[in-house]
Amino acid sequence: MKRTLFIILAAVAAMALFCGLVKGVLVAAHVSKPAATTVYGLTARRLWATTVALVALVGVAIGGIALARPASRFGPDSGRLGANLVLAAGLIAAMNGWLNLAVATGGPGTGNGVVGGSAAFVLGIVALALGGVALARCRRTASAPGRMP
């Protein structure tokens, strides 16, 4: 019971931190003011931002798996492959999220995908951090004494 409550509280705290970081990115990019008229539906920029945010989310998930299981049943090199994949996904997401924010002409509701772009940027940075830690762990494991090359 206590563990379940702790997990729920940790998830709520992580979501609050994520929302705060997204708002901070929107403020830093000067696109935090909502639109006077709201555009409904899927626009090209919203699709771009949503796709990049999904790439970042997949990168974060793979980064968590790469940290949890650095050497899976596929051999010791699969941890390095997962870390490199996370680094690539994080870099793509962070760059595209920031580019989406750079070309945006308005805030949330304008159809520019600024909320998705800022979410992709934040998740991309998180994926880059997870990938870096996973890659460092793989290198440390591979260079451990007594390990066969």
Structure tokens that stand for 35 in this block: 């639109």
Phi (first) and psi of residue 110, to 5 degrees: -90, -10
Q: Smallest Cα–Cα separation from 99: which of 117, 87, 111?
A: 117
pLDDT for 29-80, tens place per residue?
Answer: 878 787 777 788 888 889 999 999 999 999 999 888 878 775 555 445 566 7
The domain spans of the chain are 2-142
* Backbone phi, psi, residue 73, to 5°: -70, -10
Look up residue 32 and give its amino acid.
S
Tens of pLDDT, residues 98-148: 999 888 888 888 888 889 999 999 999 999 999 899 888 877 665 655 554
Q: What is the pTM of this model?
A: 0.80
pLDDT at 142: 58
